[in-house]
Structure 1
C-alpha cells in the first residue's frame, strides 16, 4: 500500500513549492561509473520532527518513479528485489546513504531522496535535487562537446513590424558522451534566461549526444555590432569536475533590413548636416556673384 500511496502523491509533492525543499541536501549531483561497480548517494535534511527518507529511481524517458525503499529513524527498509542497501539515519541533521551494488547499464537513472514524517499524518515530502548516474557503455569513451553558435536566418521576421521583430540564435553542442550537460546564455557579460529555449534532453546519435538551445532577441539587439552573444555548455567531467565550453557571436550591421529608428535618426542628422553645408556654400557663392556684378557695374560706369 505504501508504494501505491507514494506514486499517487508524488506529483503533488513535487509541485508543492515549499522552501523546506531547500533543507533537503542530496549529493553528488552527477556520477559516472563502470558496469559492476557500486555507488553511494547521500541524503540529509534539517526539517524538525521529520524522521523518514524515501528513495526513488527515475529511468530516462519515463515520468514514473520506481520506489526503492526508505529509512525510518535508524532502520533501513529497502524494497524486496530493488538491489539497494539503505544505511545511516533519517533523523534531522543525520546522513542517509543509498548504496547500489553490481551496476548494470539499466542502472543509469536519476535517483531522488525525499524527507517526510510518518505517512499517516498527511504531511508533505520534500525532495532533493536528484543524482544523475550514468553507467558507462563499453567502447564509449568520455567525450567533450563541440559548441557552435549559429546566426539568425536572414529571412526571419523580415516583414514584421520593427517593434515585433525577433531574431533567433541557435547553439548546437554535439559529439559528447555521456549526456551530463547544461546550457546557459549571456548577452555581453550578463547571463540571461529571457527568450531561452533548450531541448529537454540530449539527442542520442550513434555513440554520442547532441543538444540544441535557442535564444530569441529583438532585431534591435541583433543589429548592433557592439552586442556579444555567448552560449556556454557545461559538461560534467568526473570527480565532481565541471568544464565550460563557450562559443560566441557578435551582432551585425543592419544591411537591407529596412529603416530602423536608430538608422532613421542617424540618416536625418547626416541630412541636416549636408543641408547646412549646402546652404553655407550657396551663401558664399551668392556673395561672390554679387561681388562680381558690383565690380562689372563699376567698370561699366567708368
Structure 2
C-alpha cells in the first residue's frame, strides 16, 4: 500500500499521525524491496547506534528517516537525496551513504539517552509516494538492570471452558506467559502438529513492565475442542528474545487430551465417586453390625427369661 506524503524541501519537522500497524501492512511488492537492518539494537547511554536502509526500486533516489514516538506518531529525522545528506538539526542524528538503488543509506544516532529508545523507520520516497522498511527497535539500556531472558510457561485450558450450545462444540484457550525479561525485544509464535498457528491467536500488543523493571507478555491460542481432544495433539509456544547479540528462542509445549483417555478431571471425578461409594458401604456395614449386635442381645435376653 502506498502512502501519499506532502514533503517540502526545507521542512524542519514532520509528524505523521499514522498508526504503526497501518504503515507496515503493505500489500505492495515495492515495500518488499525496501530493506532495513538490523531489526533490533541494544545500546548503553552515550553510545552511538547505526541503522542501514537500502532499496532495489528503479528511479527512486530519496530515503527518509523517522522515529516513532510513544504516542505512535512519527517524528521526521531527515533524508538522503541521492548522495546529499539532509539531517534535521538539533536531533543528534547524521545521515550518510547513498539513496540510489542497491546502495546503503545509514542513520547515525549519537549520544544515546533513554529518550532515544524507540522504533526507527526508513522510507524510500519519490516525493509523492513512499514505501517503508519494517523498522528497527532501539533500546538504550538502563543502569542497574541486566539483559535477562524470559521464563516461559504454558497453562492448560480451564475444565469449565465455554461450550457452544448450538453445535455442542467446546473452545479451549491455551495461555502462554513469558515473564522476567529485559528489555522488551520479544515476539511470540504458536504452532501445532501441522505447523505454525495464526488463527485464534491473540497476543498482547506490548509487553507490560513491572515495578522491578522487568517485562511480562501474554499470548492466547484458542482452539476447537476437536483439536484439543485429538489423540497426540501438541501445542508449542515459542518466545523469541533478542539478547543484544542474537535472537534466542524459548519454547514450551503442552499436550492436548485424548477424549477417550483418563484425564485428570475424569480421574478426580471417579475418585470422588469411589470415595463416596466406599463411605456409604462403611455406613451400611456399621448399621448392619449394630443390627446384628442388637439381635444377639435380644436372643440372649429371651433365653434368660425362659430359664
- 8 Å contact from structure 1 (residues 51, 72) kept in 2: yes
Normalization by structure 2: what TM-score? 0.76
Q: Distance in 1 between matches of 2:140 and 2:12?
A: 29
Q: Distance in 2 between matches of 1:131 and 1:39?
A: 11
Match of 2:46 among 36, 41, 57: 36
Q: Give deviations 1:16-41, integer Å, cap 9, x for gaps.
A: 53110111111000010000100111
Normalization by structure 1: what TM-score? 0.78
Q: Distance in 2 between matches of 1:68 and 1:170?
A: 40
Deviation larger for 104-113 or 51-60: 51-60
| Aligned Cα root-mean-square deviation (Å) | 2.3
The answer on 1:151 being equivalent to 2:160 is no
Structure 1 252/9 Cα, relative in aligned 2: closer, same or farther at 3 Å?
closer
Alignment of 1:1-302 (within 5 A): 2=8, 7=15, 17-60=27-70, 62-117=71-126, 119=127, 122=128, 124-158=129-163, 160-162=165-167, 164-188=169-193, 190-205=195-210, 206-239=212-245, 241-254=246-259
Structure 1 151/162 Cα, relative in aligned 2: closer, same or farther at 3 Å?
farther
1:189 offset after TM fit, Å?
A: 5.3
Q: Give deviations 1:169-188, integer Å, cap 9, x for gaps.
A: 00000000000011111112
Structure 1 228/162 Cα, relative in aligned 2: closer, same or farther at 3 Å?
farther
Structure 1 gaps, min length 5: 257-302
Secondary structure of the structure 2 residue equivalent to 1:140:
coil
Q: Distance in 2 between matches of 1:97 and 1:246?
A: 35
Q: Count matched residues.
A: 251
| Larger fraction in helix | 1
Q: Distance in 1 between matches of 2:199 and 2:98?
A: 42
Secondary structure of the structure 1 residue equivalent to 2:244:
coil
